[in-house]
Amino acid sequence: MTPEPSPEWGPADSWQARRDDWSAEEMRALLAEYGRNPATLEVAPLPGGWENLNLLVHLDPPGGERLVLRRYDVTEPAEVPWELELLRFLTEKRFPTAALIPQTDGGLATSLGGRPAALFAFVPGKHPQWDSPTAGEQAGEVVALLHEVTAGLSLPYPRTRLDNRKRLARFQAWLAERGLSPEEHALAELAERVQEYTATFEARLAPRARALPYGVVHHDAHGNNLLVDERGDLVALLDFDDAHETYLLADLAVLIDVWGTDFADSARSRSGRSRTPNGSCCRTSRPSTTWRTRPLTSAGGSSGGAPLTRRWLIAAPTPVSWSAPPTQTGGSASASRSSGALGAAVADKPTGPARMPPS
């Protein structure tokens, strides 16, 4: 089954990446880099996706291999290697996500239309409903597993993306180099507000910074980035486009925003509708005036699972560096995954305790 986007996101053509700037000839040349030369090829854009082009690639249908090509239309090319090395790491750990497929020479990135791209195994499934009683728990569980599996991991590539502190620092550095002209009143006001916000935030963070675990966050675990099977078991966490390294609490904030707030019309939307906290990370399918709440849990869900924050109460850091494995030749990096308990989906034990933020 092909994942369908939630209708609650509104008209797709108002925010999706362009879908028609590629050709079958380009796709055949690209697939040859992965040792795949099908006699028959079907390629079609996958529905959904805010910013990036995602193509469903079917080799020798109807019974042949199905893959997904993802083109990075927004991420800076220099930052794509960070994400791909993370996905290589997760694939080797058999984390529940779409397995990253290497090229025949072991490379991870290709190019489509002048932008970086990567090839993934297709994962059958469907997106859960936003008001599913269990979807919020599944999101919390798989994010906690991500933190556990990547604990201590450090990737030797730049990554800014949605790390807002780094983005503000870049803005301040750019402005310091560029300078301000006397008539740029709005820009001067923005710079003043950024400086004030940064100083206030850093002052509040400083007494607690060394105690807060730091590592890889997904930062986007909403319903359209989860896949479940016919039984409702989670099979994949998708879309690491917003992933970066920061305080792990950032993922908790996203989970609360996505699964623990009530929208005025009880529907998620990108239009910025008003919402209020409801004190949990999972809602039942009832009218917004009678929401019941469940505590967000980690492994085990609501039946005996420990609070998600248990994953973050780790004392000492053990830094672990990740280096690319030796060059691989041929084959697919498709990993086997369990559709049941997420804890069983990881091949090895977690890397190590969460690391503390850099000084």
Residue 284, strand partner residues: none
Judge whether residue 21 has pLDDT over 50. yes
Selecting from 3.10.580.20, 3.30.200.20, 1.20.1250.20, 3.40.50.2300, what CATH number does the domain 7-121 have?
Answer: 3.30.200.20
- Categorize the per-residue pLDDT at 16 as very low, low, confident or very high, splitting at 50, 70 and 90: low
For the entire predicted model, the pTM comes to: 0.72
Per-residue pLDDT, 290 = 32
Per-residue pLDDT, 352 = 56
Mean pLDDT, residues 81-95: 97
Which of 89-103, 135-149, 157-171, 273-287 bottoms out in mean pLDDT, i.e. has the lowest? 273-287
Which of 6-20, 84-98, 185-199, 261-275 bottoms out in mean pLDDT, i.e. has the lowest? 261-275
Judge whether residue 185 has pLDDT over 50. yes
Return the higher-pLDDT residue of 161 and 179: 179
Per-residue pLDDT, 354 = 57
Per-residue pLDDT, 47 = 78
Judge whether residue 145 has pLDDT over 80. yes
Judge whether residue 154 has pLDDT over 70. yes
Query: In sequence order, which residues have a C-beta less than 8 Å from that of residue 202 and are 6 or more positions away?
Result: none
- Categorize the per-residue pLDDT at 46 as very low, low, confident or very high, splitting at 50, 70 and 90: confident
Return the higher-pLDDT residue of 88 and 263: 88
Mean pLDDT, residues 231-241: 95
Domain ranges within the chain, ordered by starting residue:
7-121, 135-158+210-345, 164-208
Kindly report each contact of residues 340-349 with a partner whose C-beta sits within 8 Å and lies 24 or more positions away, as own/partner: 340/233, 341/299, 341/300, 342/96, 342/141, 342/142, 342/145, 342/234, 342/299, 343/145, 343/299, 345/94, 345/95, 345/96, 345/145, 346/93, 346/94, 346/95, 346/145, 346/149, 347/92, 347/93, 347/94, 348/93
The pLDDT tens digits for 259-312 are 887 543 344 444 443 444 443 333 333 333 333 334 444 333 433 444 443 333
- Cα 190 from chain centre: 30
Return the higher-pLDDT residue of 14 and 182: 182
Average pLDDT, the chain: 76
Per-residue pLDDT, 346 = 53
